[in-house]
Amino acid sequence: MLTTFQQHIVQEFARRPESPMELQWLMSAVILASKLIQAQVRRAGLGNILGSFDEINSHGEVQQKLDVYANETLIKCFSLRQSVGVIASEENEHPIVVHKDSPEAQYAIVFDPLDGSSNIDVAVTIGTTFSILHRPERTDSDHPLDWILQGGRRQVAAGYVLYGSSTVLVYSVGNGVHGFTLDPSVGSYVLSHENIVMPEQGHYYSFNEAYNDKFPRRYVEYVDGIKKGALGKFYSSRFIGSMVADFHRTLLRGGIFIYPETPNYPNGRLRLLYEANPIAFIAEQAGGQASDGTQPILDVRPLEIHQRTPLVVGGKREMDYFREFMLKN
C-alpha cells in the first residue's frame, strides 16, 4: 500500500508527541511550494521563464527567472502560515518579518529557493533546500536576526527537493531520513525511500578537479589518495555541479562531496544557513558526517545571514579518513 507524505508525517509526529501540529502545517507549505516550482521547471523550455531576470541578488549574482519565481513562491507559501515569524532566503539581503510579534509565531524558515540555478538553461537537475528553526528564547531586542542566526543543531527539521528525472522530497525531523517521489498521476508525494541510511563507504567522489590548482593542496592530495585505493577500493568521479544533486547521490550510494575554499572564496562558497546546515542535518540523521574542514558543520556558529563555508560531506569511512588526513597534513 502506498504511503503519501501527508500520511507519513502524521505517523511520524504521532511517534513524537512533543512535536507540535504547527510543524506539520509548515511542511505542507514545502509540499505546496515545491509542486508549483516543479511545474514551472517541467515546462521551463516552453514558456518565457528561462534565462536571466536582469537583476542582481544579494551576493552580486545574476538572478535567473526561475530563481525569482521559486523565491516568491516559497515566501508566499510560508507567509500564509501564522506559525512563521521570520523568513530568510538566499535571494534576499535581509530577513523578511512576517508574524514575528504574534504569539502563534514559533518558527523561522531559511531556504535556498533554487540551488544549481546556473544549470537551469541546460536542463540539469536543480533543487530547493530548506531549514526550520524554533524561535529563540525571548531577548530584550528580539531582533529578526536572533531568529535566523542559530547553530545547525537548533534545526527542528530540514530537507531538500530535487527537480530532475523525477521530483523527490527528502526530509528529517530528527528521527531518521525519508524520501518521497511526486507521482504526477495523482499529484501526491509517495514514500519511495524509507529510513535512508548512507552507506558507510561508497565508490564515488564529487570534487571539481578543474580547480585543483586553486583548492588547498591537502584536499587535492586527499582525493588523489582515495582515487588510488587508500580506502581499499578505487573511487570514480561523479560531479554534476548542482550541490543538491551531488549530495543526493552521495546520500543514496555513499562516497564523499567536497567543496573547499578557493582564493576567490577564502571562506568557502556555499551558504552555511541555506545550504550546508540542512544538508549536514540530513547527512547526520542518515549516519553520515559533514564538516567545514576543521569541525562539524552543525557546530559552526553563524555570525551573518549570508555566511559562506567550505563543505565536506559523506559516509563514515570517507569522513573518518578525511579527518585523519587533515590532522596529519
CATH code of the domain in which 224 resides? 3.40.190.80
Domain end among 193, 213, 240:
193
Answer yes or no: do 263 and 167 share one domain. Answer: no
Residue 199 included in any domain: no
Answer yes or no: do 170 and 129 share one domain. Answer: yes
The sign one gets for the Cα dihedral 321, 322, 328, 329 is positive
Q: What do you get for the CA distance between the two ends of the chain, in Å?
A: 52
The residues pairing with 191 across neighbouring beta strands, listed in sequence order, are 180
The sign one gets for the Cα dihedral 131, 37, 314, 285 is positive
Q: What does pLDDT average to in each consecutive run of 10 residues of the chain (329 residues)?
A: 86 68 87 94 66 53 79 96 95 94 92 85 88 82 89 96 95 94 93 97 96 96 96 94 96 98 96 98 98 97 97 98 92
Query: Most distant CA pair in the chain: distance in Å?
Result: 58
Answer yes or no: do 107 and 76 share one domain. Answer: yes
Answer yes or no: do 183 and 208 share one domain. Answer: no
Domain end among 134, 166, 193:
193
Answer yes or no: do 157 and 188 share one domain. Answer: yes
Grid coordinates belonging to 297: 558543520
Contact 124, 241 (CB under 8 A): yes
Answer yes or no: do 28 and 175 share one domain. Answer: yes
Answer yes or no: do 170 and 223 share one domain. Answer: no
Expressed as residue numbers, the domain containing 280 is 204-328
Answer yes or no: do 261 and 183 share one domain. Answer: no
Residue 198 included in any domain: no
Answer yes or no: do 74 and 220 share one domain. Answer: no
161: closest CA among 26, 279, 4? 279
State the Cα–Cα distance between residues 65 and 51, nearest whole angstrom. 6
What does the DSSP assignment read for 88-130? EETT-SS-EESSTTSTT--EEEEEEEEETGGGGGGT--EEEEE
pLDDT score of 42:
83
pLDDT score of 64:
74
For the chain, what is the domain count? 2
Answer yes or no: do 15 and 139 share one domain. Answer: yes
The domain spanning residue 189 has which CATH number? 3.30.540.10
